[in-house]
Structure formats: C-alpha cells, structure tokens
Amino acid sequence: MSKRPIFVTQPFLPPLEEFTPYLEKIWESKILTNGGPFHQQLEEALCEYLGVKHISLFTNGTIALITALQALRITGEVITTPYSFVATSHALLWNGIKPVFVDINPDTLNLDPNKIESAITPQTTAILPVHCYGHPCNVKSIQNIADLYNLKVIYDAAHAFGVEDTGGSILRHGDLSVLSFHATKVFTTFEGGAIVCPNAKTKQHIDHLKNFGFVDEMTVVMPGINGKMSEINAALGLLQLQHIDKTIAHRREVDRLYRKRLEGVKGIRCLHDTGESVANHAYFPILIGPDYPLTRDELYQKLKNRGVQPRRYFYPLISDFPMYRGIPSAHRDNLPVADNIAHKVLCLPIYPDLEMAVVEEIAQLIVLQTN
C-alpha cells in the first residue's frame, strides 16, 4: 500500500503550467470577481457540456442551495431525506424552514416516493430530494406528487454532475437543481457551486439574489447575499472541463475493478450500477452485511490501519444531530431503512489519480477478511 494516506476522493489538479496562463489573464485584467470574463465563459461552457439552458455560478453549493430556497420563496415545511450531507437540511434551517424527514429506498438510497404523501401537511411547500452518490432519484414519481399537491421541487444534485437519464441531463428535473463544485466532487473549482435554472427570468432573479440584490450600482431590489464565484475558481473550472471526460472514464474503470474483485464476497453488497450512459461514478459505496466476518466499523478501522481512509457516508444520519433530533419525523422509528443503511455503508476510495494497483490492494484487504 502507498505510504501516503489513500482518501475516499481527491481533486484532480491539472499541471500548474496549464493553469498559469489563466492566472496571468486575471492579473492583467484586474478583474477578480463580479461576473468577470472567466465566470461568464464557465457558465456558457457548463450549459453546453451539461445540456442545460441556464446556470448561475456560486461560491459554494451550500450558498447556492440556500439561495435556491429563497428564489422560490419556500416557507413552512419541506420534505427531505435524512441520508445526505448536513448542508441539505442546514440550508432549510438557515431559511427558517422546518425539515420533514422521509425514509429512503433500500436499493437507490434516495428519497422513497412511496413515503412522501403521508408526510405532506398544510404547511408543506416543497420537496428537497438528493441524487445520492449521483444515482438519479425517481424524478417522475416525485414530480407527480409535487403536481398533485402544488409543491415545488428543488434537487440537491451535489453528486450529480454529468449524470443523465434517458431524456438527457438529470439536472433538468424539478423547479431548480443545485450543484456543488467542492474539492471532493467529480467536477471541482476548489470551492464552488451552481443553480441550474429553467429560464432566463429565473436566472436573472437568482443572479440578483447572489449579488446583494443589485441590479446596477444604484439599484438594490431584494435582500441578497454575497454568493458570487471568483475568477480564479471559474478559471480552474474551465481547465477542469478540458479533462472531465478522462476523469469520469478513470472513475468508471475504478468502479468496474471494485465490482469485479468484490463480486461474490459474502456479506458485501455493491450498490446497483446505474449504467455507464448515466453514471458519473462520484462515489463507490459498499454495504457491510451480517454475513461478513467484520462489522462495518471494524472493517473501517482495518482499512485505516493500512493507510486507506474510507468514509461512512452518511453516518450518522442528519436526523441524529442535535439540531434535528427534536423534530418528530427525525425519530429512528420513522426512518428504519435510512438507519439500517447508515450503520452498514462504507465508501471506498475512487478518484482520477487512484492507481489500479491500489484498487486491487484495497479490494484484496476486504476479501482477505473472509478467509
């Protein structure tokens, strides 16, 4: 095993000499932020790559999610998943909205549409699902429920960069979709995020919200926030896009090798492969069952002792944290599937610079415990 720690994910960093010309142009222009040329270029390039019409770039995915809720004037209660990163629900609290947790599907680990209707109350205004690990939600069923009850749908698509279904980009679904470009994501700008907008009017409204509500230097039309992406982050994004197909292709090969080596290992379940045409292979989670000789936490520690740093995404559940425990829907009895999965899941390393020989070693460490 490598002497350096092997993390779950590491950002792809292109050669410094490729980034230098971008930095020189920023220094020459003296434009560091406020929708500069690289910012505009990246919005256009992302629309083209992702197959969407309008994108508004943000300083990070959390501010983007907070702003998306503001843009749609969401209030009251929002139905969401307990099985996600805490930013999903934190964005609700920052807007004074009450999260209502609904259990997940045991196969996709996404919000279970069959559990949504029973959680709807007169105070419910929206649904906030997550495309967990980049696997698409059941968007059709969720939209049918939203239409029936006149609810908005905002997708937390932090994991779903480049993911497609049979009709095209998964980001076209819902009223808004929110992306994260954090360093741990498939596509990164170090820190960054975006909102995918359905039309130019919505994008303009969101652009005002992320820039203090300014329309021009004399006119402020709403109490906005400072959520703008800098030129340096946008420049890195433009450079990342040049390598993104190769990045995803390598992730796909890592995914294939893990599946091949772990196939048939008693007590180890790999999540269903969504198919190469739609997946971005953002994560590689496995579920540790009772037939495996070690518990999930014992395997976690074994790997860490060998220099591998797996992550228990997502454990604990959001609903287990103190700021959410008092909400009735957060009780574990209401979330048996999510609670069960959270105690079984382990995400293995997967990133563009991960060598296949290391993948072999990690898989072998897991297999050896069964002998």
Residue 215 and residue 340 in one domain: no
| Residue type at 247 in one-letter notation | T
Number of domains in the chain: 2
Whether 11 is in a domain gets the answer no
Beta-carbon-side half-sphere exposure of residue 344 (alpha carbons within 13 Å): 20
Peptide bond just before 212 cis, omega within 30 deg: no
Residue 211 and residue 258 in one domain: no
Residue 57 and residue 84 in one domain: yes
Q: Give dist(CA 22, CA 236) in Å, integer.
A: 8
- pTM, two decimals, is 0.97
Q: Which residues contact 44 (CB under 8 A, 6 or more apart)?
A: none
Confidence at residue 5, expressed as pLDDT on a 0 to 100 scale: 86
Residue 117 and residue 213 in one domain: yes
| Residue type at 26 in one-letter notation | I
Whether 4 is in a domain gets the answer no
Whether 254 is in a domain gets the answer yes
Q: Which CATH number covers residue 361? A: 3.90.1150.10
Residue 218 and residue 252 in one domain: no
Whether 7 is in a domain gets the answer no
Q: Give dist(CA 270, CA 258) in Å, integer.
A: 9
Tell me the average confidence (pLDDT) per consecutive run of 10 residues in the chain, 371 residues long.
83 91 96 96 98 98 98 98 98 98 97 98 98 96 98 98 94 98 96 98 98 94 96 98 96 97 96 73 97 97 96 98 97 97 98 96 93 72
Q: Which of 305, 311, 371, 316 is nearest to 342 (CA)?
A: 316
Confidence at residue 277, expressed as pLDDT on a 0 to 100 scale: 57
Q: Give dist(CA 327, CA 99) in Å, integer.
A: 8
Cα 347 to its chain centre, rounded Å, is: 14
Whether 351 is in a domain gets the answer yes
- Tokens (6 digits) for 50: 């992702």
End-of-domain residue from the set 181, 206, 239: 239
Q: Give dist(CA 204, CA 202) in Å, integer.
A: 5
Q: Which CATH number covers residue 106? A: 3.40.640.10
Question: What residue numbers bound the domain in which 124 lies?
Answer: 16-239
